[in-house]
Chain A
C-alpha cells in the first residue's frame, strides 16, 4: 500500500447525502476478478449517459475536476454494500481523500486498506469546504496527515480527528496482514484457549464433503 503523508490537489464537490456504494460502483461490474483498472466504471450511472457518452453535468466530467484528488461529500458517504470495488475505483480515478460529515462504517474501513484517507469533519466545516470545492481550478486543498490538517484554498488550516493506529498505518504504508502475523504467538495462544472453552466451534467445516 502506498504511504499517505501529504496530498495537494483539486477537491470536487459531491453534495449527495447517503451516497451508496452501488452508485459509486454499480453491481453489474462486480464481476471483475481484478482490483485495478476500475475507474472506467466509477459513478457509471451518473457519470455517463445511456449512450455511453459523458454526462457534462457530472462534476468529475468538468475540466478542473477531472484531475480531482479529493472529494467533498455529504452525510453517510459510502453506505450500503461492503464492496471494496468502490474505494478501488476511486483510487484508480486518482482520489486519495474523501471528506464528509459522516461515513458508513464498512466504506470508511475499506478506504484505509487502500491508502485512501476518509476525513470526517463537523457538518458546518464540511459545508464551508463544499463551497471552497465549487471554486473549480481554485479549489486546491492540501491535506497533511502528520499534523491532521486540511489547508483550505485561502490558506486557513482545519484540524481533523483520526484514530492513532490508522494514522500510523497510513503514514507508513503498513500492510495489516503483516502486522497481524507478527502477533502469531498471541493468536495461537488464543486459539488454544478458545478450543478448550468452545471445542464445538473447531473443525466444523471439515465435515463438509469434498
Chain B
C-alpha cells in the first residue's frame, strides 16, 4: 500500500520541478500576488538585469497598504502622503512596463490582497500561492499552499515563476466540537497561538482539521489560516470540501463549464489520505475556547477576556519574564488587572484577518441600536470594494454610521498604519487585525487583538468587553 500523504505533501510533490541541491528543491508557483510595498526593489532588480516577468498570466497586482480609506473617487491623486503616493505610482508604472494585470484603486475589485484572491476566485485549491507578505497563509483556507516571501524571492518568482525551497514538516492542528455563543474563528486562532506560542509552528505547515473547521464558514477558515504565521508556521491549510467548492463556483476567475468539472475532480483528490501522519500535533476542544483578547505585544500574549493580565513574577525563564515585563511596561498594564477593566480609545474593524462580509455582519449585530462610547474613535474598513458594496446593499453601513462608527473605503489601513489611519497619542486600540507589535498601529499605540464582534463591543462600552455579556 502506498504511504498515505497529507494535503501539504500532495501539493508539494506536484509542484517540484527539480532538486536544487541537498534537501532543497525548485518548485513551481501557480499564482503570484503582488502589492506596492514589497515589489519596487524586485522590479528594479529585474530592470537592472534586463529580465522580464515570466508569467504575467499568473500574476496579479493591487495597491492596498498605503492607500487612503477616504476620498477613493479621487484615485491615485487622492493620496496626500508623498511617500505613499510614490509607492503606488511606482507600482502602476511597473505593472504597465512589465505587462502585469492590475486592479486599479478606483475599481470595485480593489481591496486587501488576501481578501481579493479568494473573493475573485483566483486563489484555488491545490495551488502554490506566494506574495511578499507574511499573511499570504490566508489563501490556505482554499486548500492552497500559500506563504509569504521576501522581496528577493518576489523578484525570483517574477523572473522564473519558481522558488527554491526546502520542504516543510507537517503539523496537525485539530479542534473538535461546536464553538460557544459569541466565540468566533478569531478566538480559535488566538487560543491556538496562545497554546503553542509564536514559534510553535516554525518549519511546519499547519493543517487545520477537526469538526470545528469542517463546520466553519470559508471566511472563518480564512481568518484562522491568516494568522498561521503568528504561530511561526510557513503556511496553514484546510482541506478543500463541498463548502470550498460551493464558495469557488461562479467567482470571476474560477474555472467554468468543462474546466470546472476537470478542476473539481482534481480538487477532490487533495485532502490528506486516511492514516496520514504528522510531525507534530496540537489538539484543542472548541468548548474550552472563550472570546480572547491579547494583553501584550505579540499574538501569543492572549487570554480569555474574562481573565487577568498575567504576573511576570510567576514566570521562571528569565528571558520570557523579561519579555512579559517589557510588554506590560509598553502596554501600561499592571499584573493581575482584570482585562474587562481596560479602557480603549480607538477601535479598528478591518484587515486581511477580519474585514470580510461575515466579519462586518458580526460587528454590525453588536453595533445595532447602540452608540460608540464617548471618547472612542471607531473605524470600519471593508476588505475590498465588493465587500463594501455588499455591506451597503445589506444596510450595514447605516448601522455603523448611526452608532457613530466611521465607514471607510477598502485597504489595509490601521493594521500597520502605512496610510493616514493610525492611533494618535499612544492610544489603546481594540483591533481585529493580526499583530499587536510595539508601534505597529502608531507611535506607542497599545494594540489589543480580538474578533470583530468583540471589537464592536469594546467600541460601545469604551473598554475591553465580553461580547456575551452584551446580550
Contact = CB atoms under 8 A, between A and B. Distances in A.
Interface in A95-149: 102-106, 109-110, 113-114
B134 A206 contact: no
B28 interface: yes
B266 A177 contact: no
A35 B439 CA distance: 22
5 contacts: A20-B437, A31-B37, A81-B435, A165-B20, A186-B17
Contacts of A83: 37-38, 150
7 closest residue pairs by CB, A with B = A165-B21, A208-B101, A113-B152, A200-B255, A31-B83, A33-B40, A84-B150
A190 B128 CA distance: 14
Nearest to B203: A105
Contacts of B77: none
Interface stretch (A4-12, A21-29, A54-62): A21-29
Nearest to B266: A198
Contact of A187 (B24, B161, B300): B161
Contacts of A187: 17, 26, 28, 160-162
Interface in B318-350: 319-320, 322-323
A104 B232 CA distance: 6
B67 to A, nearest CB: 12
Nearest to B324: A17
Nearest to A180: B160
Contact of B440 (A22, A106, A190): A22
A18 B317 CA distance: 14
Interface in A144-165: 163-165
A30 interface: yes
Contacts of B150: 82-84, 87, 106, 109-110, 113
Given A82-B148, A110-B150, A165-B22, A190 B17 contact: yes
A22 B437 contact: yes
A101 to B, nearest CB: 10
A63 interface: no
A71 to B, nearest CB: 15
Contacts of B26: 180, 183, 186-187
B133 A181 contact: no
Given A187-B161, A204-B57, A205-B253, A177 B28 contact: no
Interface of A: 15-18, 20, 22-23, 26-28, 30-35, 45, 50, 74-76, 79-84, 87, 102-106, 109-110, 113-114, 163-166, 168, 176-177, 179-181, 183, 186-187, 190-191, 194, 197-208, 210
A23 B198 CA distance: 15
B254 to A, nearest CB: 8
Given A28-B417, A104-B199, A204 B122 contact: yes
Contacts of B232: 76, 79, 104-105
B84 A208 contact: no
Interface stretch (B58-66, B367-375, B395-403): B58-66
A84 B162 contact: no
A105 B202 contact: yes
Contact of A204 (B31, B51, B159, B230): B31
Nearest to B168: A105
Interface in B81-101: 83-84, 86-87, 90, 101
Contacts of B199: 18, 75-76, 79, 102, 104
Contacts of B69: none
A144 to B, nearest CB: 20
A180 B259 contact: no
Contacts of A16: 319, 323
Given A31-B87, A187-B28, 6 more contacts: A35-B41, A82-B133, A84-B151, A106-B149, A176-B152, A197-B266
A199 B58 CA distance: 12
A30 B66 CA distance: 10
Interface in B127-145: 127, 132-134
A186 B162 CA distance: 11
B187 interface: no
Nearest to B158: A177
B23 A30 contact: no
Given A163-B24, A205-B58, A17 B418 contact: no
Nearest to A79: B198
B298 A82 contact: no
A71 B232 CA distance: 21
Nearest to A20: B437
Interface in B160-190: 160-162, 164, 166
Contacts of B56: 205-206
B102 interface: yes
A17 B20 contact: no
B440 A27 contact: yes
Given A165-B23, A180-B26, A22 B202 contact: no
Nearest to B319: A17
Nearest to B27: A190
